[in-house]
Structure 1
């Protein structure tokens, strides 16, 4: 158990711009099912939420969602996961937090089998104490269960904070008793993070470390000594 502050970081839309690969994988899935392919703006809504939830949002029949996920995954694991890039300035901001004694870990709705290699490939892994993601398909999961798994593994006894770009990050963290700071460079709709209850929304990458450290130093910042046990929703990550 560590008394060092812990920051849990969303991956897609927070650390990396994963839209190109996610959108390409979704297009493959819709085409494979013979369904209309949403436009580029609509496909941005695939970034962040669990994958089954995203397909349902676009009215894919429930009995065809597994087929859609299979088509998506086939493209994603070969090509789509690498159509990705780290936002400029993110490694430097993580290094500032790391050097300040903050433990950092990724907590993402993306399956862990993809999230780990992505963090390795793009040079984020050396700054992280762990990468936590969803299981692969057919295993119930949600952002809250991923956050709970990270807390269970890392056993923080000091302040804990989530950083993410979508309402799912705020709600998932809050279900485990953790507050969330939002970031403005990701994929949230206007006002989404504020409505969800984010403590604040960091406007640009170069302000990230400063705002996170200021929040962690706020008097009375909650300490998490044991993970909560939220109920899992039957979802899978992008």
Structure 2
């Protein structure tokens, strides 16, 4: 994501956040190549032409079942068949995605400061837990919320709502929560729940997707400053 220089309201760095929600793919881990590789495998297994890299990268972030319907033009049965092929292949590669530089340090600092951290990802929750366990980051998360395997909970708005609900069930205030993500889907899903969003430039979004974000950061140091002051 390439944007204009960072502009932040002067009140933002002094804000005390009651909770911080993080997206996973494109925000915490660099998973694009593994995801697009499994998508290419999926199209090949279905006997279909493999889309360009640019098109495949557009699948990274939004709920995949919806993208298979809207972008690939699959009907419900075809989309579920494709999703299952994708999941089988991706499940064998999900633990290869590296953590973006500096992000683990931000999570560690938030945890040390006593600020509750939640994951809110459109990736299936079971896969998301494996990723966080493998990278050693699970220890920093109070709540891990993702899409359900049956896709009943898949939209970003629904996942963010579930993360907030689980935090509240632990008597954690979400009145001043903030979302950290890399796509416009993160911003819109968070805004649907009254939560502002900080977008990270190192992810997979485009400049146009930053329009509704509270701020855009290009480094983990900037993100840490916004979250911790």
TM-score range, shorter chain: 0.7 to 0.9
How far the C-alpha of 1:170 sits from its partner, in A, is: 0.7
Q: Which structure 1 segments of 5+ residues have no match?
A: 215-238
Matched, 1:81 2:94: yes
1:190 — aligned with what?
A: 207
Q: Which residue of 2 aligns with 1:50?
A: 63
- Aligned pair in 2 of structure 1 residues 14, 4: CA closer, same or farther (>3 Å)? closer
- TM superposition shift of 1:140: 4.5
Between the aligned partners of 1:145 and 1:56, the Cα distance in structure 2 is 19
Contact 2:156 2:185 in 1 (8 A): yes
Distance 2:117 2:153 in 1: 25
Give the root-mean-square deviation of aligned CA atoms: 1.7
Offset of residue 4 of structure 1: 7.0
1:165 aligns with 2:182: yes
Q: Counterparts of 1:128-207 in structure 2 under 5 Å?
A: 128-155=141-168, 156-157=172-173, 158-194=175-211, 197-207=212-222
Answering whether residue 107 of structure 2 is matched by residue 90 of structure 1, we say no
Q: TM-score, normalised by structure 1?
A: 0.83
For residues 45 and 4 of structure 1, the distance between their equivalents in structure 2, rounded to whole angstroms, comes to 31
Q: Which runs of 5+ in 2 are unaligned?
A: 1-15
1:134-168 CA distance string (max 9 Å, x none): 10135253111111111111113252111100111
Per the alignment, in what secondary structure is the counterpart of residue 186 of structure 2?
A: helix
* Partner Cα distance (1:212, 1:199) in 2: 12
User: Structure 1 CA distance, aligned partners of 2:137 and 2:65?
Assistant: 27
Structure 1 partner of 2:128: 115
Shift of 1:184: 0.7
Paired position in structure 2 for 1:9: 22
Contact 1:21 1:82 in 2 (8 A): no
